[in-house]
Structure 1
Amino acid sequence: MTAWVFKNRWRKISIIGLGILGVIILVVVFFLNSFLSRTLSSKFKEAVLKGTDSLYRVNFSKLDINVFNGTAVLHDITFKPDTTAYHRLQQAGKAPNRLFEIKVKRLEVSGAHPLDIWLHKKIEVALIDLKNPEIYISKNGDKQQPQKPADKRTIYQKLSASFKLIRVDDIRLGEINFTYRDKSGPKPSVHVLKEMDVHATNLLIDSATQADTSRTLYCRDIVTQLRHYTGKSANGLYTYKINSVKLSTKTSRLDIAGVDVQPLTISMYLAKSHTDRFGLHLDAITLHHFNYRSYRQGQGLDVARAVLNKGEFSIFSNPNGPLKTTDRLVTFPNWAIRQLKMGLQVDTLDIKDLDVNYSEFKKGKSRKTGTVRFSAVTGSIFNLTNKKALLQKQPLATAHLSTLFMGKGRLNLQFGFNLADDGYSYSYKGHMGAMNMADANPAVMPLGLVRITSGTVTSLDFDIHGNQRRSAGKVTFLYHNLKVDVLKTDDEKGYAKKGIISLLANTVILKSDNPDNGKTIPRVADVAFIRPKNFPFFKTIWSALLNGLKGCAGVGKADEKEKNQPLTKKEIKEKADALKKASEYKQKEDKKFKQKLSEKQKP
């Protein structure tokens, strides 16, 4: 009996003791929750203040901590500049060019160890999750800030008095609303991004990682993704869309999917603008080894390899465009690259399956639109740069491209541009295989009022070198059974044939074959062309090439000779005559330009 009573007594004592212990634990937990909330709140705010040199403050309405499962939730967070501190910096001329502001309704932290924070000054967290944060950046100016004594301490050194270590395995920011206000220019602009996600992994701030250059913002990897971005140009002529943009700081790879630049319809565009009309679609753009750090710091675009994958680029030459009075040297690619305000270094630009279309409405007798098509352009461009140190080692940018001219004839092209030469020298050579000449009619009929009724290209080869003043080279155009109709416009039929002129063109002017029937040595044209200043780049290279094509076809000078034969005295004189003729052509074009200019200036 005594043993049974003793046993029950101890059972009651144990139950009471456990109950008291449980109450004590609950009291301690609730106390810790409350105490840690207050303590960590003050430490967190103090750390932000120190880490930003008192410019920024962080506030939140409430911090809930659950010691049992290691979670914490912050409510109504704001991270914004202290206006008093900012104005003080402004008066001292030391205010930063950009200000940041962040608003978050709810931030949840899981897998945390609050006691380690309090007792050991260590923050170790499994996940930080922010939903629908609002981020604002204001750019207030581009002025160079006066140099102040540099604080060379790392973020770790600034925070080490409050925390010895900060580790976060995952940081997720979903559905970000991002607003960028640029107040530095004459007209303020606002850019808004939505549907933006950021995922950062393995953030670690400690004594070892403070000098780790493989990390970005102390993270092993930061993946940023933007979806469904749309906007309009300031003049309202273009709408641009991007399906998605994704950047990984670990791989330094930027992926852009679904790029579209859509102009207004032709009629609406011509009614509002006198500039040429452009359109662009690309399935994907990929930048490999993209130096996002130098780009973010405004130092330029530095890419090891860029890939443009499948799409279309179209140009419509505006017939109402203003007469250009400046030297059209500005259209030369090597001039444009050298004039870029930002640094450029693209080691390799790969183009895969890009369609390029050039359309022009021919004023005057035709009044019709012709289109030149280059289908499935594929190839690579090397050494695109404007950096002087790199140009001293290799000044030449080269391109190797392959395409289908008018969607039919295989055309292989090579371009070379000297990016350091004051004369803006360049070269282009190419080879085109067999093609039915009539396939070029969609371009030659409206633009030249000529219809090719028969003819087959055997091959076309050209090799031309030029600079901003003149071009010279060789063209070999082999074909057979060429016949054409010279046309005039007809309101009902579209075109009408000029019978007598067409007969003369086929029997007197044009050679139907090259080489001539029964001969084995073809006509080869030596090209000499002096560029009028109002001729842009592509008109210049086409004009030089056209001179060679016309010579091979009988409309101009071409010689029948074996390849690589030395020039005779007669041929040397003919070259001098060709150069004189090119000079006369230039003077003629300059005179025509002056006449057009005077007509434009008449009231």
Structure 2
Amino acid sequence: MPEPIKGKRRGTKGWLWVGFALLVFLISALIAEQIIEDKLPKRLQSAISKESEGLYQIHFGYTKVNLWRGQFIAKNIHLIPDTARNGRLKKGGQTTLFELKAKYISIAGFKLLKLLWHKEINASDVIVSQPIIIQYKISSKTEKNGKNIRQQLRAIKNKIVIKKITLSGIQYRTIDMQSKKETWLKNINFHASNIKLGQWAKQQDLTRLGLVESFRFYGKKVIYLSNDELYKLQLDRLDISTEKNTLGIDSFSVVPKYTEKQWSKTLKYKRDRYDMFFPKIEASGLDLKRWLEEGCLKMDSLVVNQAIIRVYADKGMREKKTIASNNFPSLAFQRLKVPITINNIHIRNTDVYYKELNPKSGRAGLVFFNNLNVHLQHVSNDSLQLKQNPWIKGSFSTFFLGKPKLTLNVDFNMLDTLGAFHYRGVLGGAPASFYNQLLEPITLARAEKGYVNSVRFNITANRYGANVETEMLYNDLKVAVLDASSGKLEKKGFLSLFINWLAIEANNPSKDGKPPRIARHYYKHPQEKTFFNLMWKALYSGLKVNLGLPEI
């Protein structure tokens, strides 16, 4: 009988040893967890400072480590750049720094031993709550030896692998360190999967989107404030996804800070005022892999539906002496640092209003285009694409001032250094008096009689001027010249009589059987005037010839 008792005692002793070893392990793990919890912030601070060569420091308000779950939690995180070292930054080609604040960061599946012994960061899930990201622009110039953000992420010495990362409630600000101007964006969310940075990122994988396998930008009630603080950009919904390679925007509006009257009184120099609303914008065929890898943005189509665009200009505002022709569309597009190619842009059922206040008449003329439909093809500033085809081609159809139909074709040569473009079109018929809503406040003239049958134009231009060809067919035209000196628009009888008798031809073609008068001449463009000024003034110079006035 003693033998079973002895065996039982041995079994009990064995379980006691196992329990004791387990207890020691648990106590050791708790001690190790506490040690790691104490040392981890310092290790992270040291690693970030060393990796950034002293440009960044990080601070934590609270940290918690759970070895069993491989979890790291931090609160009140602050990544601080040394913005005072501008001289060294510029010399080293660094043009941008970032500051990060976050209320809460949770990292799950975090392999602490790899971080401590092998300096590898590996995690399954990262959640960042309410981050504030501030970008400091140190220099407006791009250094030849400087690295962009993708190159900087690839240059990280350590290996970083994160299966999933989510940033919610992002606020993003940019601060120009030279001008001190700021922009800000808020209410954005970001989600990405299978992120590989540093040494891992150097191993090319053609199935990946550069540094990530997939990502999504999305948000509701997104707000952006321009750096001049004159406009607030708002949208109800934003969604950019790599799953379908699409972009979707709902209820996008550009809201000016001042009313039309306030605009004229507040701004120092003349600027057009824009008030725009786009119910829906959709893009498809986004090549996000190329964008992330090469910084080139390409898409198959961009569609804008039922937009309303309002532009206001006050001719009485002080002109700022600038070379506006430098900003012709093709020239400005060529200067963009990001190569962009959009195969097709469709603008459908859109209304455009241009309102101009004439200080002489004290009244504003309104030019508007209803039901505007636009198709632009091969919209690109990518040099590789332009070698194959340098032309952007656009076709437009609309109702001018809501009545006569206007069809227009505009082509831009994107390889021409002078901003060459060509436009041609046809405007349908309407009574001459129909245009008084535009003529009276802007030109101080009134059509009292007549009918405009059609207007045809074909104009080739660049930043310096235009070769103009126009034909305006009309009959029984009679005009009056107006005077606004009394505060009211009143007819100048003698001058009106003189113009109708000696200057303006009442008919084109004339009733004596002669062919229609066609304007063919060169219009010289003032360099301080805009692209749209050239389009209008070149056409207007031709119409004056069609009316029988001397060529410009």
* 1:460 lines up with 2:439 in the alignment: no
* 1:35 lines up with 2:18 in the alignment: no
Does the 8 Å contact 1:434/1:459 carry over to 2?
yes
Does the 8 Å contact 1:57/1:81 carry over to 2?
yes
Does the 8 Å contact 1:263/1:279 carry over to 2?
no
With normalisation by structure 2, the TM-score equals: 0.74
Aligned runs of 1:380-395 on 2, under 5 Å? 380-384=375-379, 391-395=386-390
Q: Do the aligned partners of residues 391 and 495 (structure 1) sit closer, same or farther apart at CA in structure 2, a change above 3 Å counting? A: same
* 1:212 lines up with 2:204 in the alignment: yes
Q: Do the aligned partners of residues 171 and 36 (structure 1) sit closer, same or farther apart at CA in structure 2, a change above 3 Å counting? A: same
* 1:262 lines up with 2:268 in the alignment: no
- Whole-Å separation in 1 of the counterparts to 2:429 and 2:62: 77
- Whole-Å separation in 2 of the counterparts to 1:313 and 1:206: 46
Greater Cα offset, 345-354 or 42-51: 42-51
1:356 — aligned with what?
A: 352
1:281 — aligned with what?
A: 276
Q: Do the aligned partners of residues 342 and 516 (structure 1) sit closer, same or farther apart at CA in structure 2, a change above 3 Å counting? A: same
Does the 8 Å contact 2:119/2:158 carry over to 1?
no
Q: Do the aligned partners of residues 250 and 29 (structure 1) sit closer, same or farther apart at CA in structure 2, a change above 3 Å counting? A: farther
What letter corresponds to residue 28 of structure 2 in structure 1? F
* 1:446 lines up with 2:444 in the alignment: no
With normalisation by structure 1, the TM-score equals: 0.69
Q: Do the aligned partners of residues 103 and 386 (structure 1) sit closer, same or farther apart at CA in structure 2, a change above 3 Å counting? A: closer
2:372 — aligned with what?
A: 377
Q: Which string of whole-angstrom CA distances, capped at 9 and with x for unpartnered residues, describes residues 79-100 of structure 1?
A: 44689xx979949954844444
How many angstroms does 1:104 deviate by? Answer: 3.8
Q: Do the aligned partners of residues 110 and 482 (structure 1) sit closer, same or farther apart at CA in structure 2, a change above 3 Å counting? A: same
Q: Which string of whole-angstrom CA distances, capped at 9 and with x for unpartnered residues, describes residues 113-164 of structure 1?
A: 778989999876442222223444434346777969xxx999699436xxxx
Q: Do the aligned partners of residues 509 and 245 (structure 1) sit closer, same or farther apart at CA in structure 2, a change above 3 Å counting? A: same
Q: Do the aligned partners of residues 376 and 488 (structure 1) sit closer, same or farther apart at CA in structure 2, a change above 3 Å counting? A: same
Q: Do the aligned partners of residues 267 and 137 (structure 1) sit closer, same or farther apart at CA in structure 2, a change above 3 Å counting? A: closer
1:272 — aligned with what?
A: 266
Does the 8 Å contact 2:291/2:298 carry over to 1?
no
Q: Do the aligned partners of residues 356 and 64 (structure 1) sit closer, same or farther apart at CA in structure 2, a change above 3 Å counting? A: same
What letter corresponds to residue 520 of structure 2 in structure 1? V
Aligned runs of 1:224-239 on 2, under 5 Å? 224-225=217-218, 227-231=221-225, 233-234=227-228, 238-239=230-231
Greater Cα offset, 139-148 or 418-427: 139-148
2:191 paired residue among 190, 199, 204? 199
Percentage of identical aligned residues: 22
1:106 — aligned with what?
A: 104
- Whole-Å separation in 1 of the counterparts to 2:537 and 2:58: 66
- Whole-Å separation in 1 of the counterparts to 2:384 and 2:475: 51
Structure 2: stretches of 5+ with no match in the other structure: none
SS for the counterpart of 1:523 is coil
What letter corresponds to residue 158 of structure 2 in structure 1? L
Does the 8 Å contact 1:527/1:545 carry over to 2?
no
How many angstroms does 1:200 deviate by? Answer: 1.8
SS for the counterpart of 2:274 is strand
1:73 — aligned with what?
A: 73
- Whole-Å separation in 2 of the counterparts to 1:65 and 1:317: 61
How many angstroms does 1:174 deviate by? Answer: 1.9
* 1:368 lines up with 2:363 in the alignment: yes
Q: Do the aligned partners of residues 397 and 113 (structure 1) sit closer, same or farther apart at CA in structure 2, a change above 3 Å counting? A: closer
What letter corresponds to residue 188 of structure 1 in structure 2? K
1:526 — aligned with what?
A: 519
Aligned runs of 1:85-234 on 2, under 5 Å? 90=88, 94=92, 96-110=94-108, 125-141=123-139, 158-159=157-158, 167-183=161-177, 185=178, 187-204=179-196, 210-212=202-204, 215=208, 218-225=211-218, 227-231=221-225, 233-234=227-228
- Whole-Å separation in 2 of the counterparts to 1:326 and 1:120: 58
What letter corresponds to residue 353 of structure 2 in structure 1? N
Does the 8 Å contact 1:242/1:256 carry over to 2?
no
1:412 — aligned with what?
A: 407
What letter corresponds to residue 165 of structure 2 in structure 1? I
1:314 — aligned with what?
A: 310
Q: Do the aligned partners of residues 80 and 37 (structure 1) sit closer, same or farther apart at CA in structure 2, a change above 3 Å counting? A: farther
Q: Which string of whole-angstrom CA distances, capped at 9 and with x for unpartnered residues, describes residues 189-210 of structure 1?
A: 4444443322222235698764
What letter corresponds to residue 217 of structure 2 in structure 1? T
How many angstroms does 1:403 deviate by? Answer: 1.7
1:597 — aligned with what?
A: none
Does the 8 Å contact 2:209/2:292 carry over to 1?
no
Does the 8 Å contact 1:285/1:306 carry over to 2?
yes
SS for the counterpart of 1:412 is strand
1:242 — aligned with what?
A: 234
How many angstroms does 1:262 deviate by? Answer: 0.8
Does the 8 Å contact 1:463/1:475 carry over to 2?
yes
Higher Cα Rg, which structure: 1
Q: Do the aligned partners of residues 367 and 63 (structure 1) sit closer, same or farther apart at CA in structure 2, a change above 3 Å counting? A: closer
Does the 8 Å contact 2:523/2:541 carry over to 1?
no
- Whole-Å separation in 1 of the counterparts to 2:99 and 2:174: 11
Does the 8 Å contact 1:487/1:495 carry over to 2?
yes
- Whole-Å separation in 1 of the counterparts to 2:444 and 2:108: 75
Q: Do the aligned partners of residues 108 and 544 (structure 1) sit closer, same or farther apart at CA in structure 2, a change above 3 Å counting? A: closer
SS for the counterpart of 1:188 is coil
How many angstroms does 1:469 deviate by? Answer: 5.5
How many angstroms does 1:241 deviate by? Answer: 2.2
The CA RMSD measured in Å over matched residues stands at 5.1
- Whole-Å separation in 2 of the counterparts to 1:533 and 1:454: 34
How many angstroms does 1:495 deviate by? Answer: 4.5
Q: Do the aligned partners of residues 426 and 66 (structure 1) sit closer, same or farther apart at CA in structure 2, a change above 3 Å counting? A: closer
Does the 8 Å contact 1:135/1:178 carry over to 2?
yes
Q: Which string of whole-angstrom CA distances, capped at 9 and with x for unpartnered residues, describes residues 434-490 of structure 1?
A: 445444331122223444456555443222334456544543434566565655559
Q: Do the aligned partners of residues 179 and 549 (structure 1) sit closer, same or farther apart at CA in structure 2, a change above 3 Å counting? A: closer
SS for the counterpart of 2:316 is coil
Does the 8 Å contact 2:270/2:320 carry over to 1?
no
Does the 8 Å contact 1:170/1:201 carry over to 2?
yes
1:428 — aligned with what?
A: 423
Q: Which string of whole-angstrom CA distances, capped at 9 and with x for unpartnered residues, describes residues 491-513 of structure 1?
A: 79x55556787788778876666
- Whole-Å separation in 1 of the counterparts to 2:155 and 2:326: 50
How many angstroms does 1:266 deviate by? Answer: 2.7
- Whole-Å separation in 2 of the counterparts to 1:73 and 1:327: 55
Q: Do the aligned partners of residues 82 and 217 (structure 1) sit closer, same or farther apart at CA in structure 2, a change above 3 Å counting? A: farther
SS for the counterpart of 1:446 is helix
SS for the counterpart of 2:73 is strand
- Whole-Å separation in 2 of the counterparts to 1:157 and 1:499: 80
SS for the counterpart of 1:128 is strand
Q: Which string of whole-angstrom CA distances, capped at 9 and with x for unpartnered residues, describes residues 326-354 of structure 1?
A: 7764464445445x364554444443344
SS for the counterpart of 1:375 is strand
Structure 1: stretches of 5+ with no match in the other structure: 161-165, 558-580, 586-603
Q: Do the aligned partners of residues 212 and 36 (structure 1) sit closer, same or farther apart at CA in structure 2, a change above 3 Å counting? A: farther
Greater Cα offset, 282-291 or 27-36: 282-291
1:601 — aligned with what?
A: none
